[in-house]
Every structure is written in C-alpha cells, then in structure tokens.
C-alpha cells in the first residue's frame, strides 16, 4: 500500500480518530497524576502558599503555564492525524508568549530599573531548570506512548509538541513551589526549562513516532 493511500484511510477511519482521542485523554490524565505525585513527594507547595494565592504575580504564573498546556494540547490532539491541518491551531501557542511578554513589559514599567536584574535572575533559577524537566519525564512518556497509536507525518514535531504539553503541566505544578513570582523571572527561566523538554521530545519523537 502506498503512503498516500494509507494516509487517506487513516483520515477517513473514524474509529482511529476516536481511539487517538481516548488515548490522549487517558495520557493527559495519567500525566497530570504522575506529575502531581512527584511534585508533592519531592518538593510540595511553597511555605507561604496560602498568602501567595492572594497576589496577582503568583496567580499569573498559572495563567501562563495553563495556557501553554491548553494550547499545546489542542495541537497535540490534531498533529497525530495525517491530513488534518494544524497551522491555525498552532497559532494558539503564541498566546502564552504574548501574555508573558505583556506581563514582563508591565513589570518593567512599574518596578524601579535597579531591581530588574535581581528580579530576572531570581533566587531559584537552578531549581526551575531542574524540577520542570524532572516533573516532565512521566507526562512526556505518557504522551509519546499515546502518539505511537497515531500516524504523525512529522514525528519530531509531534514529539516536540508532546514535550511542550508535558512541560506545561510540570511548570504548572512547579509554579506552586517557586517563590520567584516576577514575570521577568518567569519569562527568562521557564522557557529555557520548557525548551529542554520540547527538545528532548523532538529527539524521542523522531525515533519513536516514525511509521
């Protein structure tokens, strides 16, 4: 059977689409549970969590990480299906970046310039670069396993998207521990940690999702 014929059959096969949706939904549930268990077992909530949730900077971190998980998940649900366009959906991935950029600009406008570098470097950047990839391991494995039941035409890209979603979930949990709430810190270090996971996902996807 030719590749084009196989793609056409997969596109037209409703049970395949439903199975992929179910697989990814189960993977998302398992990914969240695994990340939660590891988070509470290893680091847990920050000491001042109860008072921190009353501050805008702390809560906004969850807006960023949550929007990444949501928009990345929307792309992931489509990218495993050959012939299904993802470009328009992928534009949603700009939402977290735009929100983060707006928050960082606002921070620069309202805070004294002599505090910018301190806020950007923060106190726990090494923990950020360690914990987010660590918490992403289980979720990434879940998503890659689910995508193996699909037929992504660009396996490396599919793996990278899986990495973005996994990192988004991990970053959401880490944000509950991280006491560096400045958007300047989040804009610098969170993307670096997330990129590590996305890059790992691309490498693994290239090897594991080929068909």
DSSP character string of 101-154: HHHHHHHHHHS-GGGHHHHHH-S-HHHHHHHHHHHHHHHHHHHHHHHTTS--SS
* pLDDT for the residue 5: 55
Residue 22: domain span: 3-208
What are the Cα distances from residue 145, in Å, to 71, 89, 105, 149, 161? 20, 22, 39, 7, 13
What six digits make up the tokens of 177? 């521990």
* pLDDT for the residue 88: 82
Residue 105: is its pLDDT beyond 60?
yes
Write down the H helix ranges in the chain.
Answer: 3-12, 14-42, 49-52, 56-79, 87-90, 94-110, 116-121, 125-147, 155-175, 183-208
What six digits make up the tokens of 104? 């960082």
* pLDDT for the residue 2: 53
Query: What's the pTM value of the predicted model, to 2 decimals?
Result: 0.89
Residue 1's pLDDT band (boundaries 50, 70, 90)? very low
What six digits make up the tokens of 199? 């890059």
Q: Which residue has the higher pLDDT, 11 or 109?
A: 109
Which residue bears the tokens 């680091």? 43
* pLDDT for the residue 74: 93
Q: Report whether 177 contacts 45 (CB < 8 A).
A: yes
| Interval 139-165 mean pLDDT | 93
pLDDT, tens digit, for every residue of 45-77? 999 999 999 999 999 999 999 999 999 999 999
| Interval 76-81 mean pLDDT | 86
| Interval 100-116 mean pLDDT | 97
What six digits make up the tokens of 17? 């689409």
* pLDDT for the residue 170: 99
Residue 85's pLDDT band (boundaries 50, 70, 90)? confident
| Interval 89-102 mean pLDDT | 94
Q: Report whether 83 contacts 7 (CB < 8 A).
A: yes
Alpha carbons 12 and 192: distance in angstroms, whole number: 39
| Interval 13-27 mean pLDDT | 74
What is the residue-averaged pLDDT of the chain? Answer: 91
State the CB neighbour count (10 A cutoff) for residue 192: 12
Residue 35: is its pLDDT beyond 50?
yes
| Domain tally, the chain | 1
């Amino acid at each position: 059977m030719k590749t084009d014929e196989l793609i056409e059959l997969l596109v037209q096969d409703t049970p395949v689409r439903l199975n992929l949706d179910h697989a990814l939904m189960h993977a998302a549930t398992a990914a969240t549970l695994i990340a939660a268990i590891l988070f509470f077992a290893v680091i847990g909530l920050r000491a001042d969590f109860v008072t921190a949730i009353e501050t805008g900077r702390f809560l906004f971190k969850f807006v960023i990480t949550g929007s990444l998980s949501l928009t990345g998940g929307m792309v992931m649900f489509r990218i495993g299906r050959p012939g299904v366009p993802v470009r328009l959906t992928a534009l949603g991935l700009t939402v977290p970046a735009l929100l983060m950029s707006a928050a960082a600009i606002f921070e620069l406008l309202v805070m004294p310039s002599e505090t910018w570098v301190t806020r950007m470097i923060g106190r726990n950047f090494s923990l950020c670069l360690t914990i987010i990839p660590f918490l992403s391991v289980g979720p990434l494995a879940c998503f890659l396993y689910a995508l193996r039941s699909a037929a992504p035409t660009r396996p490396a890209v599919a793996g990278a998207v899986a990495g973005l979603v996994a990192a988004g979930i991990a970053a959401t949990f880490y944000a509950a521990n991280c006491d560096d709430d400045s958007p300047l810190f989040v804009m610098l270090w969170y993307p670096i940690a997330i990129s590590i996971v996305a890059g790992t996902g691309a490498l693994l996807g290239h090897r594991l999702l080929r068909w």
